[in-house]
């Protein structure tokens, strides 16, 4: 009995032929026959081929006559042999000639009356027969090939193309296990039954339980769907077949169906195994009554449905699909009996990010000064692939710096590069640099003053990155699933603090467009709180905008004109209140903000501890924000129409 690895090698090394080479040979034969027919069959061609021989033997080459020359020299022509529009013969003085003439009975009669011997060659050579019968035989062979394909299904017209294996088959069993997957413990527990079934299916048979025949993994890109599928196969120690949904599409109708049949046949021959289809939405999109142009894709989907539903309970084949758009899949694909278990993989939380970082940190050299917990806190919204890329960027930065291990500065640089973009070398005017420093100092000061309700500040910098001239970063202590109204108003004040600082220190006529991003984020947050979260007493507990079919929010989809005007006025009131709150805090602490800006100009980057030391003093550098100031700020931040 062959081992799985030998079976895989035989599948990969098997030579698969299609009709492409046969058709190429036949086409070349037909083309050559047509050329030979047009060249060899003409008397002029015969004469031209004999020219070289005549020249070699010293015999004079034949003269070339035009049609007018033939008419003019009719008395000089002794013999003429006509084949089509070509004529050859000899003149009365023995000179050979070639000519192109039009078949005209009057001309031939005139030549004959002048004593010329005229003959018409109507015989057919083997070249003529080849040029006539080869196209006919090719047509007959093509019709036979089509009917053979109709009789044989996947073994017919599309067998040759389908047998060019669309799958990326591993030559053996994956070595990836659940130990190589971190940050998604709940998802691994959900899939533990699949592994248990592949190892001990008799235990399930004894109870009469039916293990899911298909598992759909959904989630954002980089969350580990493919890695998790490979880990299931590695954990169960079974073969792993992998293909992409786009591999089953082609320009020939029926090719996708043939490929689906082939990959499922291979899986059945090597069961128990894992059959993984990545980006399954490429062939599993929802069918429509009006999709006349997608008949081939729908036929491929129908074949996939048939293959998945045709399994018996003891085949040991588990189909795993992965997609980023589960909402696009056809309902028939998601019903019990096909993909009857759906596992959504979310972005990792704080503990998950720490586990992923610890896992990838084993592959690189990390310095003792790197705080992995702070790194996990500062990478909210990162997927597992993003975190792996972050450590790789940090390692590359360490190599560029001539270090043999990753330092904290390398990690900070890699995170800033991924979030904000690479560092820009810009030649900025001194006044622009100064204005940027005061802008970021305003953000940093208000963030520090709201430390009791917002995330603690991590650092402030005026180093340009991407489109931003500077930034202030905050590190969340833990993952938040919701925001209080106090946190929302504090965040609004922090967003507006940069513009407020520009106006306070440079005047209303010197404000810049640098607050563009801050205003956009503040507007989105205020609109969300008012129209979706129901946090505005004036609008009430009504969802003004709903999620549309593509997952994006459409502004004021189900609101009347009056409600829309109220929403716009309420957003403006919240924004104005936040701006007034930030402006008041900065005005009251003008000297402290100016000191922050001066330090930023001198050092370019300030850490959170350094900012707190400047704001609260050396003895109180870790003290919380002043409760009286914050409470007053929160009361001031409330709009006049809010309770």
pLDDT tens, 547-606?
454 445 455 556 678 888 899 999 999 999 999 999 999 999 999 999 999 999 999 899
| Percentage of the chain lying above the pLDDT 70 cut | 74
Per the model's pLDDT, the better-predicted residue between 418 and 557 turns out to be 418
Q: Is residue 395 one of the residues assigned to a domain?
A: yes
Residue 59 pLDDT? 53
184 and 298 assigned to the same domain: yes
- 29, two tokens: 């034969």
Q: What is the pTM of this model?
A: 0.67
Helix (H/G/I), strand (E/B), else coil: 310: coil
* Contact criterion met (CB below 8 Å) for 180 and 187: no
Quick check: helix, strand or coil at residue 620?
A: helix
Asked whether residue 7 is assigned to any structural domain, the reply reads no
Residue 532 lies in a domain: yes
Residue 74 lies in a domain: yes
Q: What is the DSSP string of 92-147?
A: TTS-EEEEE----HHHHHHHHHTT-EEEE-----HHHHHHHHHHHHHHHHHHHHHH
- 313/227: higher pLDDT: 227
Find all residues with CB under 8 Å of 460, minimum gap 6, and list them: 440, 441, 443, 444, 470, 471, 472, 473, 596, 600, 605, 606, 611
Within 13 A of 454's CA, how many CA atoms are on the CB side?
27
Residue that wins the pLDDT comparison between 114 and 413 = 413
State the chain's maximal CA–CA distance in angstroms. 132
User: Looking at the structure, do residues 406 and 479 belong to the same domain, yes or no?
Assistant: no
Give the domain CATH number at 247: 3.40.50.300
Q: Determine the Cα–Cα distance for residues 604 and 463; give it in Å rounded to an integer.
A: 6
Q: Are 629 and 585 in contact (CB under 8 A)?
A: yes
Domain termination residue (choose one: 79, 109, 124):
124
Across the chain, what does the average pLDDT equal?
A: 78
User: Which phi-psi region, left, alpha or beta, contains residue 556 (left: φ > 0; alpha: ψ -120 to 50)?
Assistant: left
Give the integer Cα–Cα distance in Å for 230 and 235: 8
Give the per-residue pLDDT at 632: 39
pLDDT of the residue at 286:
83
461 with 581, same domain? yes
* Same domain flag for 262 and 372: no
Which tokens go with 277? 């289809």
569, part of any domain: yes
What are the tens digits of pLDDT across the range 368-415? 989 899 899 888 889 999 999 999 999 999 999 999 999 999 998 899
From the CB of residue 597, how many other CB atoms can be counted at a distance below 10 Å?
A: 25
Tokens of 98: 């070639």
Q: Tell me if 496 sits within 8 A of 522, measured CB to CB.
A: yes
- Looking at the fold, whether 236 and 377 belong to one and the same domain comes out as no
> Whose CA is closest to 266, among 11, 82, 606, 630?
11
> Position of tokens 């004021």?
556
Of 86-90, 238-242, 299-303, 549-553, give the lowest mean pLDDT range: 549-553
Domain identity same for 538 and 616: yes
Which residue numbers are catalytic?
Answer: 440
Among 394, 418, 442, the domain boundary falls at 418
- Tell me if 399 sits within 8 A of 426, measured CB to CB: no
Domain co-membership, 604 together with 626: yes
> 507 falls in which pLDDT band (50, 70, 90)?
very high
531 found inside a domain:
yes
Of 388, 418, 448, which marks where a domain is finished?
418
- Give the single-character DSSP code of 553: B
Q: Are residues 462 and 583 in the same domain?
A: yes
Domain membership of residue 565 (yes or no) is: yes
Q: Does one domain contain both 477 and 571?
A: yes
| 164 has pLDDT over 70 | no
Q: Are 358 and 454 members of one domain?
A: no
Question: What's the CA gap between 451 and 629, in Å, rounded?
Answer: 12
pLDDT for residue 292 is more than 60: no
- Domain containing residue 370: 350-418
Q: Considering its fold, how many domains does the chain have in total?
A: 4
| Alpha carbons 462 and 437: distance in angstroms, whole number | 6
Which CATH number characterizes residue 504's domain?
1.20.58.760
Model confidence pLDDT, tens digit, residues 458-483: 899 998 887 788 889 888 887 778 88
Q: Is 194 buried (19+), middle (13-18) or exposed (0-12) by CB count in 10 A? A: buried
What average pLDDT does this structure show over 136-161?
Answer: 59
Q: What is the pLDDT of residues 179-217, one digit of tens each?
A: 888 888 888 888 888 888 888 878 887 888 777 788 999
* pLDDT > 90? residue 163: no
Q: Clarify whether residues 619 and 500 are in a common domain.
A: yes
Better pLDDT: 423 or 165: 423
Q: Is residue 627 part of a domain?
A: yes
Please report, for the domain that includes residue 368, its CATH number.
1.10.8.60
- Coil, helix or strand for 267? helix
Same domain, yes or no: 384 and 473: no
């Amino acid at each position: 009995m062959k081992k799985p690895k030998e079976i895989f090698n035989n599948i990969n090394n098997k030579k698969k032929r299609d009709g492409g080479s046969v058709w190429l040979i036949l086409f070349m034969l037909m083309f050559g026959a047509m050329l030979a027919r047009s060249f060899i069959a003409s008397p002029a061609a015969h004469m031209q081929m004999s020219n070289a021989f005549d020249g070699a033997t010293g015999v004079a080459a034949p003269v070339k006559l035009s049609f007018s020359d033939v008419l003019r020299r009719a008395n000089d022509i002794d013999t003429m042999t006509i084949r089509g529009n070509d004529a050859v013969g000899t003149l009365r003085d023995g000179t050979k000639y070639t000519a192109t003439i039009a078949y005209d009975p009057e001309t031939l009669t005139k030549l004959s009356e002048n004593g010329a011997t005229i003959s018409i060659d109507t015989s057919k050579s083997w070249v003529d027969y080849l040029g006539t019968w080869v196209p006919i035989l090719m047509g007959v062979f093509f019709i036979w090939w089509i009917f053979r394909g109709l009789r044989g299904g996947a073994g017919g017209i599309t067998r040759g193309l389908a047998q060019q294996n669309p799958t990326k088959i591993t030559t053996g069993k994956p070595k990836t296990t659940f130990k190589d997957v971190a940050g998604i413990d709940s998802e691994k527990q959900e899939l533990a039954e699949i592994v248990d079934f592949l190892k001990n299916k008799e235990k399930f048979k004894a109870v009469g339980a039916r293990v899911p025949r298909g598992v759909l993994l959904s989630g954002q890109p980089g969350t580990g769907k493919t890695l998790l599928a490979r880990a299931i196969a590695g954990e169960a120690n079974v073969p792993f077949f992998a293909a992409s949904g786009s591999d089953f599409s082609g320009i020939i109708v029926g090719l996708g169906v043939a490929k689906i049949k082939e990959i499922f046949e291979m899986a059945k021959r090597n069961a128990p195994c894992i059959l993984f289809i990545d980006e399954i939405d490429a062939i599993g999109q929802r069918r429509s009554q009006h999709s006349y142009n997608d008949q081939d894709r729908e036929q491929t989907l129908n074949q996939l449905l048939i293959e998945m539903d045709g399994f018996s309970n003891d085949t040991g084949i588990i189909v795993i699909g992965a997609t980023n758009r589960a909402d696009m899949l056809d309902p028939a694909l998601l019903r019990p009996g096909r993909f009857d278990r759906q596992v959504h993989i979310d972005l990792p939380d704080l503990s998950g990010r720490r586990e992923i970082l610890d896992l990838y940190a084993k592959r690189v050299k990390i310095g003792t000064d790197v705080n992995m917990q702070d790194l996990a806190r500062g990478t909210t919204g990162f997927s597992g692939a993003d975190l792996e890329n972050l450590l790789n960027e940090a390692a590359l930065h360490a190599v560029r710096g001539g270090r043999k291990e990753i330092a904290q500065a390398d990690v900070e640089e890699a995170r800033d590069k991924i979030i904000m973009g690479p560092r820009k070398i810009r030649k900025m005017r001194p006044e622009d640099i100064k204005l940027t420093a005061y802008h970021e100092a305003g953000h940093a000061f208000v963030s520090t003053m709201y430390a009791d309700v917002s995330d603690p500040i991590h650092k402030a910098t005026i180093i340009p990155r991407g489109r931003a001239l500077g930034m202030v970063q905050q590190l969340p202590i833990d993952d938040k699933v919701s925001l209080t109204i106090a946190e929302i108003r504090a965040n609004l004040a922090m967003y507006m603090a940069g513009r407020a600082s520009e106006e306070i220190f440079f005047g209303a006529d010197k404000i810049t467009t640098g607050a563009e991003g801050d205003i956009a984020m503040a507007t989105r947050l205020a609109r969300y709180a008012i129209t979706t979260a129901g946090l505005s007493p004036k609008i009430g507990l009504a969802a003004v905008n709903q999620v549309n079919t593509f997952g994006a929010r459409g502004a004021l989809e189900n609101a009347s004109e009056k409600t829309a005007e109220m929403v716009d006025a309420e957003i403006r009131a919240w924004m104005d209140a936040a701006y007034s709150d930030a402006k008041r805090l900065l005005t009251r602490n003008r000297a402290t903000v100016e000191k922050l800006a001066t330090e930023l100009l001198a050092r370019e980057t300030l850490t959170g501890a350094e900012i707190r030391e400047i704001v609260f003093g050396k003895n109180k550098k870790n003290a919380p924000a002043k409760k009286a100031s914050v409470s007053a700020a929160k009361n001031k931040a409330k709009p006049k129409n809010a309770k």
